[in-house]
Amino acid sequence: MLTIENLRKSFGGVNAMNGVSLRFDTGSLTAVIGPNGAGKTTFFNLITGAFKPDSGRVLLGDEDIAGLSAPEIVRRGVGRAFQIASIFPTLSVRESILCAINAHRHWHANWRHRFPLAAAQTAAEEALELVGLTSRANALSGNLSHGDQKLLDIALALALEPRVLLLDEPTAGMGTEERWQMIETVHQLWALKKMTLIFIEHDMDIVFKYAQTIRVLSYGTVLAEGTAEQVRRDPRVIEAYLGAHYKEQPA
């Protein structure tokens, strides 16, 4: 379980996160939505250690991880894939995943060995299969399509064996068909791995179809939370973000 308690962060007098409290149950699938500037990416940055909160707690189980370094938080079980894929462009897809696995397991000297450790090789092949990149294993990461780079970024996060996985706009920059293929892959990964998965997304059709629970941020506060039906009909959410046409659409 991931529990956020009264999380606060300011930048130069601007309250980017203003007392946010949320709970994400173990194995849940949650979308975080809201207008630009709502604090969604800041929220992820505070959970993953990219930013240190001014106050508040981030509880992973019973442990407060707020203020720990990003590597320490990863080791405790929080993984993340980014809106702009964070990959190793000069390595092959397989080498990239082996690098992540060996760094995570402190096998630093072995990541580019001609004969990688069997356990690392097995884990890499599993990650490739999970995201559907087995056929691209020997391709240079920097030569992958935009969508495949996003899949590789997710595979790199999965290689770190997270209990909680954060996806920052996994479908950003994709065409309609590619977006649906991506979110279906994400949904299958969630169902298979039984992890707590939280994703930021602007495509409301995707959010309403796949998210068990939706949390709406606005100006660093929690505006609303609930099921797709509850959120799409909430007057505050309609006014701040969705627009009136969503209220009229069938669930």
Greater model confidence, 150 or 103? 150
- Model pLDDT, residue 109: 46
- Model pLDDT, residue 98: 87
Q: Residues of the chain with pLDDT > 70: what percent? A: 90
Q: Per-residue pLDDT averaged across 225-239, rounded?
A: 92
The beta strand positions in the chain, using DSSP E, are 2-11, 14-24, 29-33, 55-60, 63-64, 78-81, 164-168, 196-200, 213-218, 221-226
- Model pLDDT, residue 106: 60
Q: Per-residue pLDDT averaged across 76-89, rounded?
A: 81
Q: How far is CA 36 from CA 16, 42, 97, 222, 224, in A?
A: 12, 11, 32, 14, 16
Greater model confidence, 86 or 6? 6
Domains and CATH numbers, the chain: 2-85+164-248 (3.40.50.300), 88-143 (no CATH)
Pick from 19, 12, 2, 13: nearest CA to 218: 19
Supply the pTM of this predicted model: 0.88
CA dist 14 and 201 (Å) reads 24
Residue 49, both tokens: 């250690």
CA dist 127 and 133 (Å) reads 8
- Model pLDDT, residue 242: 76
- Model pLDDT, residue 120: 80
In the predicted structure, residue 60 carries a pLDDT above the cut 90: yes
CA dist 14 and 135 (Å) reads 47
- Model pLDDT, residue 249: 55
Residue 106, both tokens: 């402190």
- Residue 226: what are its φ and ψ, rounded to 5°? 160, -165
CA dist 166 and 164 (Å) reads 7
In the predicted structure, residue 164 carries a pLDDT above the cut 60: yes
CB 201 within 8 A of CB 207: yes
In the predicted structure, residue 73 carries a pLDDT above the cut 50: yes
- Residue 23: what are its φ and ψ, rounded to 5°? -130, 135
Pick from 242, 236, 217, 234: nearest CA to 4: 217
CB 99 within 8 A of CB 88: yes
- Model pLDDT, residue 101: 82
- Model pLDDT, residue 239: 87
Grouping H, G, I as helix, E, B as strand and the rest as coil, residue 242 is: helix
- Model pLDDT, residue 24: 97
Q: What share of the chain is helix, strand, coil (3-state, %, to 5)?
A: 40, 25, 35
- Mean residue pLDDT across the chain: 87
Within 13 A of 125's CA, how many CA atoms are on the CB side?
A: 7
In the predicted structure, residue 92 carries a pLDDT above the cut 80: yes
Question: Cβ atoms within 10 A of the Cβ of 201, count?
Answer: 24
Greater model confidence, 109 or 203? 203
CA dist 167 and 157 (Å) reads 9
Greater model confidence, 247 or 224? 224
Q: Per-residue pLDDT averaged across 41-46, rounded?
A: 95
pLDDT digits (tens, 9 = 90+) for 102-148: 777 664 544 455 445 677 888 888 888 988 899 999 999 989 998 89
Q: Per-residue pLDDT averaged across 207-229, rounded?
A: 94
Asked which of 82-86, 152-156, 197-201, 213-217 is least confident by mean pLDDT, the reply is: 82-86
In the predicted structure, residue 200 carries a pLDDT above the cut 90: yes
Q: Residues of the chain with pLDDT > 90: what percent? A: 54
DSSP tag of 66: T
